[in-house]
Structure 1
Amino acid sequence: MDTMRDRFAPVALRLLDEDPRVAVVLAEIGAAGFVEARRRHPDRVINVGIREQLLIGAASGLALTGMRPIVHTFASFLVERPFEQVKLDLGHQGVGAVLVSAAASFDWPAGGYTHMAPGDVALLDTLDGWTVHVPGHPDEAETLLRHAVAAGDDKVYVRLSVQSNAQALPVDGARFHTVREGRSGVVVAVGPMLDAVLDATTGLDVTVLYAATVRPFDAAALRRATATAGADIVLVEPYLAGTSTAVANDALADVPHRVLGLGVGRRELRRYGTVEEHVAAHGLDARSLRERISGFMTGTRMPVRA
């Protein structure tokens, strides 16, 4: 199966062909995938080189002229390094762009911590008005990218990963999807965490919601689920643990409830390892998730994680 990033360049080329407002802005990374796109649309495929602040600034300038820029590089270089430009050049000026990241939290361990960005969604949460898509399958990534480009002039972040669920689910860029129904708690699986969550909750009497779009947060779906499944909620996210606990709490502000946020820990893991080893070290593999979810639902002590 191709990866989400494998799918990205061909879809972006089709969007360039279909919509004269679309432009692609790169900072060297990923440029090899856009050779044909640059040949066909030389004025709308721009590589600024290894200049991430300029990457966002150029996208903002294009947006000010009425273009719909798609901006791409690794998450650490797209959100973290040029964060001031994301805040000011896009947010303060009131223009939008589609930021499409790669490498996710730790998809390229050999790149070291400079190429890891588990805090990207939490960082964007400090800004107003961002839509955040976290697809769990290449088909979903294509659908959500098209949603993002069509979303007027909104500010949209599409978080691509090499981690993927085995099957795509129908996603509409807004609502959570009910995958399994139970009566003893709710587990929200975000993007590529779904397969591990389904394995972890096999035989448990819990509702599993799938979220491929996390901002705006589908508060209505969570409230509906807790009405029948109880108000113990576990959020399993492929980025910084606890990123969505505040919005989940807000969704249930008038309902007695408990929330556990599982995700990538704050402690830096200084050995390269593999993606699978990082998943396990952060307690996001199916076995660890089962222990932690069961422990929370039953009130037993859970192992401490990074």
Structure 2
Amino acid sequence: MDTMRERFAAIVSRLLDEDPRLAVVLAEIGKDGFADAARAHPDRVINVGIREQLLVGVGGGLALTGMRPILHTFASFLIERPFEQIKLDFGHQGMGGVLVSAAGSYDWPAGGYTHMAPGDVALLDTLDGWTVHVPGHPDEAETLLRDAAAAGDDSVYIRLSAHANSAPRDIAPGRFLTVREGRGGVVIAVGPMLDNVLAAVEGLDVTVLYATTVRPFDERTLRAATAAGAGAGSGAAGAGAAGTGAGTGAAADVVIVEPYLAGTSTGAVNDTLADRPHRVLGLGIPRRELRRYGTIDEHLAGQGLDPASLRERIAGFLRR
């Protein structure tokens, strides 16, 4: 299976052939994947070198001319380092574009903390109007990329990762997908966390929603899922779990598992369920820096996001 980044380069290279409005801006990283496209479209594949603030500035300038810019580099260099340029050159100017990151929270642990960006989505949350996609498989990345490229002038962030689920799902941009239904709570798995979440909740009577778009937050699907679970009137997070029936006035229980900073979307869950009793647990990357090198799986375990750790944390929360 190809990676999300490989699929990104292949798909966007083809889209450049089809849509003269598209342009790609790179900051050295990822240039090899666009070598053929650069030869075919030298005026629309621009490598600014290791100058991330310029990367965003050039993208904003292209948007001002009516182009649809697609910007790409590692998440720490795309969102964190040039954040002021994103805020001004896109947000303040009212321009739109597609920001596509790689390396995620710790895709390249040997690169050290300079190449990790667990806070990228939370940082974008301080700005207005951004759509944020978090695919969990290369096929899903393609679906979301095509949708973003064909959009009008909105601002889109697509968070690619080397961490991926084993199989794609039939996703729709902007909507959560109901993967399974239960009565003892709702667990939202974001992007590449789905496989670990499904393994963690095996045998638990919970609904699992799959989120590949986290902004805007799919309030309608979450409200429907919590209403259905509450209406059933029986919680079953495990042996001896207490019921969560609506008739008893019990709270709706929601766990959200995100591959970036823990708690990034708990506010969105709280806003969605503001008119009804609820409890929410946000699981993700802690603020504490994990000063270790290792594989992605080892980092997941170190952050408590492996299936065994997730099961303990999710079941414990639902039993309380």
Is TM (by shorter chain) over 0.5?
yes
Counterpart amino acid of 2:257? V
Unaligned ranges ≥5, structure 2 = 231-251
Counterpart amino acid of 1:297? L
For 1:188 and 1:180, the matched residues in 2 are separated by 11
Shift of 1:226: 0.3
Shift of 1:194: 0.3
For 2:216 and 2:183, the matched residues in 1 are separated by 26
Could you say which residue in structure 2 is the equivalent of 1:296? Answer: 317
Could you say which residue in structure 2 is the equivalent of 1:219? Answer: 219
Tell me the TM-score normalised to structure 2 length. Answer: 0.93
Could you say which residue in structure 2 is the equivalent of 1:151? Answer: 151
1:31 and 1:47 in contact (8 A); partners too = yes
For 1:42 and 1:53, the matched residues in 2 are separated by 21
For 1:171 and 1:130, the matched residues in 2 are separated by 19
For 1:197 and 1:50, the matched residues in 2 are separated by 37
Per-residue Cα deviation, 1:150-206 (whole angstroms, up to 9, x for no partner): 110100000000111111111221110000000010000000000000000000000
For 1:233 and 1:159, the matched residues in 2 are separated by 23
Could you say which residue in structure 1 is the equivalent of 2:238? Answer: none
Shift of 1:273: 1.6
Shift of 1:49: 0.3
Per-residue Cα deviation, 1:42-77 (whole angstroms, up to 9, x for no partner): 000000000000000000000000000000000000
Partner of 2:55, secondary structure, is helix
| 1:122 and 2:122 matched | yes
For 2:229 and 2:258, the matched residues in 1 are separated by 20
For 2:10 and 2:3, the matched residues in 1 are separated by 12
Partner of 1:24, secondary structure, is strand
Could you say which residue in structure 1 is the equivalent of 2:4? Answer: 4
Could you say which residue in structure 1 is the equivalent of 2:235? Answer: none
Partner of 1:235, secondary structure, is strand
Could you say which residue in structure 2 is the equivalent of 1:206? Answer: 206
Counterpart amino acid of 1:250? D
Figure out how many residues of one structure are paired with residues of the other and give that number: 299
Greater mean alpha carbon deviation, residues 266-275 or residues 7-16: 266-275
Give 1:135-214 correspondences, 5 Å limit: 135-214=135-214
Give 1:1-306 correspondences, 5 Å limit: 1-230=1-230, 231-299=252-320
For 2:290 and 2:265, the matched residues in 1 are separated by 23
Shift of 1:97: 0.7
For 2:189 and 2:292, the matched residues in 1 are separated by 27
CA root-mean-square deviation = 0.6
Counterpart amino acid of 1:92? H
For 1:106 and 1:288, the matched residues in 2 are separated by 18
Per-residue Cα deviation, 1:6-26 (whole angstroms, up to 9, x for no partner): 111110101100100000000
Partner of 1:209, secondary structure, is strand
Per-residue Cα deviation, 1:107-150 (whole angstroms, up to 9, x for no partner): 00000000000000000000000000000000000010011111
Partner of 2:217, secondary structure, is coil
Partner of 1:287, secondary structure, is helix
Identity over aligned residues, as a percent? 75
Shift of 1:271: 1.6
Counterpart amino acid of 2:284? G
Counterpart amino acid of 1:18? E
Unaligned ranges ≥5, structure 1 = 300-306
1:144 and 1:171 in contact (8 A); partners too = no
For 1:153 and 1:170, the matched residues in 2 are separated by 26
Per-residue Cα deviation, 1:94-114 (whole angstroms, up to 9, x for no partner): 001100000000000000000
Counterpart amino acid of 2:299? H
Tell me the TM-score normalised to structure 1 length. Answer: 0.97
For 1:125 and 1:107, the matched residues in 2 are separated by 22
